[in-house]
Chains A and B, each alone.
Chain A
């Protein structure tokens, strides 16, 4: 048994005090750079089969909002995996992406219901902190699933956010060797994922000096806002080469703005998440590409990690999930679902 497990046991015994002391030892998490990590594809090889779930096991998920397809798909992943392995899954979300307190209330309510493990996808890096502490004081393992990163999280499952932006930047470096002006539509200010994605893109694309980022403005995950911002940017920079948006909703808004400006042949647009609308738009030749982080699969992996934790396996702090740049060339391949998609992803080289 690892040191972590021992202290968890102690945490159960001396409840809050020990948990608090432990939290002090834990370095604030940066899910992109944390050294204690493993790729999802290596779990089976390293830890063997997933332990059977305890009888009547219940796992609760709390995510951002169901108005975003990404979070619906994540929940689908939870449910799929739960059904296959005989685990009851309760999946709740806040009323909208700004509803920080509401999400906290929901999480706290779930804690009092005796779940074996909880999967949190917080609105911001800290709004679920009290729930995390409460759960840990009761010895309920909490897995921080994707996007916003709770600094005190013991377990994280998600993609490398920075890599998301890096992949798009690499496409520009490979396909637009002459360089030019690019723009970024960012997500909600202060959210870890938005910051990392933007940083990864900007740092990579400007490396070499051929590209300049002429604008990097917040779109707050909102399609309309992204549309308006993009329209303004295009007006100022008609010679723009391309956009990178922190999620697909915003990217699709940008696509409309580009079309409205009549620049669809000159300006490329990339999104993030790989929602179905984005796939359709890529197939239709409008959206240039998206970085799919495979939410259904991410959900399944999260459940797998939860079961492994319940089976007392010492899983590294960060489990990174796959992502891939989807463009017209490979869209057919990645349109696969379920086990077939797993095969495709397992075949792709790990980072």
Chain B
């Protein structure tokens, strides 16, 4: 483009082109609106106990969505997060049942998750396959592994010490919320303060340009899937602690909730754009919605309707405020 209107449009865009913080402010505003509406409609909504409830209920989706956000930012998608969580959950349960110390079982299980993510990344980069198809394949593959290994039966006998890790609180805040908050802070730093984060954004924004500019594209992409696999594993472990059993069917449809949270938070499925704070807020929005509608005794079908509408409204607002690119 070489002309007057590009300059003109730039000037116009300046008003609309939201700096990173502003988009998050928009998501926050959405959350505030939802909270205000529910606290008016239901007196039980804004109690301390219920707020902790919402955070706890959102924490698992938030954890998965953090990794999903990185993958989406770098131009991919990870549909296999649920089964990766299941594999790690089964792994940790089997190890602990076999008498492996908790301090060893946890890192091993997380390695399972990261390895599964690494396989996704390797297939995408070295295999040159589309991320959607690769992870659609491993979605079934990883699920099958956990089902075959367990024969479809949940594994019980989780040591109380492990359960205490996820079921106790720190200063009244449930541990899963604390764990996910710490992870989110780390991921935020990775995305915003390290070269790797810059690479995620660059590769997702324009892979070819990044390659020519010397970005290690292959390593960057694999890293995003490894982190996503690791975070899915953490989510799986948290759930094992909460449920007291590792179910091989655990994590069903997690990928959709995680994508929804990331998208509400401002991630673009085209890559190159996304926000950690936004994703967290997106997960809390989804959690609040479900919680609030349950409090109001709204039937499941209408909850589904509300979730769908929220996603679409978020996207439309996003589109409207983004202006022309």
Contacts and interface: CB of A to CB of B under 8 A. Distances in A.
Given A66-B301, A190-B249, A106 B44 contact: no
Interface in A212-268: 218
Given A100-B252, A101-B239, A105-B294, A112 B44 contact: yes
| Main SS at interface, chain B | helix
Contacts of A85: none
Contact of A105 (B153, B154, B291): B291
B290 A130 contact: no
B53 A112 contact: yes
Contacts of A126: 154, 156, 243-245, 247
Contact of B252 (A93, A98, A108, A129): A98
B249 A189 contact: yes
Contacts of B253: 96, 98-99
B50 interface: yes
Interface in B123-153: 147, 150, 152-153
Interface residues of B, number: 39
B57 interface: yes
A190 B60 contact: no
A109 B53 contact: yes
Contacts of A95: 300-301, 303-304
A66 B302 CA distance: 11
Contacts, number: 95
B250 interface: yes
Contacts of B291: 105, 109
B218 interface: no
A290 B306 CA distance: 37
B49 interface: yes
B61 to A, nearest CB: 8
Max count, chain A CB within 10 A of own CB: residue among B167, B254, B287: B167
Interface string B45-81: 0010110010011001100000000000000000000
A66 B297 contact: no
A105 B300 contact: no
Given A126-B244, A130-B243, A105 B297 contact: no
Contact of A99 (B60, B147, B252, B287): B252
Interface of B: 44, 47, 49-50, 53, 56-57, 60-61, 147, 150, 152-154, 156, 167, 239, 242-245, 247-250, 252-254, 287, 290-291, 294-295, 297, 299-301, 303-304
Interface of A: 28, 65-66, 90, 92-96, 98-102, 104-106, 108-110, 112-113, 124-127, 129-130, 133, 151, 188-190, 218
